[in-house]
Amino acid sequence: MEPLPAVGSATQPMPAALTITGLTAGYRDVLALDEVSFSVPRGALAALIGPNGAGKSTLLQVLLGVLKPWQGTITVAGHPAGGAGRFGYMPQSSQVDWDFPVTVQDVVAMGRYAHRGPGRRLGAADWAAVEQALVQVGMETLRERAIGALSGGQRQRVFLARALAQEAPILLLDEPASGVDALSEQAIISILQRLAAAGTTIIVATHDLASAAEHFSYVLCLNRRLVAAGPTDTTLTEATLNATYDSRMVLVRVGERLYAVDTGHHG
């Protein structure tokens, strides 16, 4: 008997966790996304990159149901993406009121209200999900700490735990390592890589091209239209970067670090 092909092999590709077809969206009469189509395989750690105004935030808002698309379809694991529970979300740190008097556990528990609805008490299953999320990000020993008393890296891990507590098949993260030190950034990336290896699909909007090249398995290059989508090692080329950013962008390795260098706009 012939052995079964390995999961993720060329003969048996990983199934798509998310498929977007012909997505067009914007604000009033301003076009932000123009006929965007792509698929993301299950278990991918995908970097969503593009210049300011490229439509990254618009794409996240459409997926979350905050913004209604003008046209196009969105499916999660082959099913229409409507309804709660399809996506867990972590906002940018600048969108959070860090002075609000809540504990770490309180913040993570907020991720369960999509399941319970407003005003309903959390049950045993909800608190078990909260505890599991805290353990996954290494914040269980600080569950009673006020959120405002944490470091920047710890705060980001707490909000990642809140997204995990939603138990959604796909996580959408908006600049999760923004404003944190290098050690905290590496801790967050390590957590994301472990989650992806366990089958969670993660899409991260980021401006850090070097991190995208070095740590992410998949890349989505966006500039109102989709420029490219695919495995990072074959997709994130100089030509793709130039088309995405309309510049002569190169990735340069110095020692063990990668840096994105803009060598000048096309004349």
- Domain harbouring 198, CATH code: 3.40.50.300
- pLDDT > 70 in the chain, percent: 84
How much is the pLDDT for 217?
A: 96
Q: Which of 124, 141, 167 is the last residue of a domain?
A: 167
Q: Are residues 17 and 114 in the same domain?
A: no
Cα 25 to Cα 69: distance, rounded to the nearest angstrom:
5
Find all residues with CB under 8 Å of 198, minimum gap 6, and list them: 43
Q: Pairing state of beta strands 16-27 and 71-76?
A: antiparallel
Q: Dihedral through CA 94, CA 95, CA 98, CA 104, nearest 10?
A: -110
Instruction: From 152, 167, 182, give the residue that closes a domain.
Output: 167
pLDDT band at 119 (very low <50, low <70, confident <90, very high): low
Q: What is the pLDDT of residue 225?
A: 96
Distance from C-alpha of 237 to C-alpha of 162, rounded to nearest angstrom: 34
Alpha-carbon gap, residue 92 to 2, rounded angstroms:
49
**Angle of CA points 245, 91, 158, to nearest 5°:** 130
Residue 191: which H helix or E strand, with range? helix 182-197
- The token duo for 256 is 């063990």
Domain that holds residue 127: 95-167
Amino acid of residue 229 = A
Same domain, 175 and 58: yes
| Proportion of the chain above pLDDT 90, given as a percent | 59
Q: What φ, ψ does residue 13 adopt, rounded to 5°?
A: -65, 155
In a shared domain, residues 81 and 209: yes
| pLDDT greater at residue 234 or residue 6 | 234
Confirm if 54 and 212 have CB atoms less than 8 A apart: no
Q: In terms of Cα–Cα distance, which of 231, 234, 206, 205 is closest to 219?
A: 231
> pLDDT averaged over the chain?
86
- One domain, residues 179 and 262: yes
Q: Which of 32-46, 105-119, 148-162 has the highest mean pLDDT?
A: 32-46
Given CA atoms 240, 186, 166, 159 in this order, what sign does their dihedral have?
negative
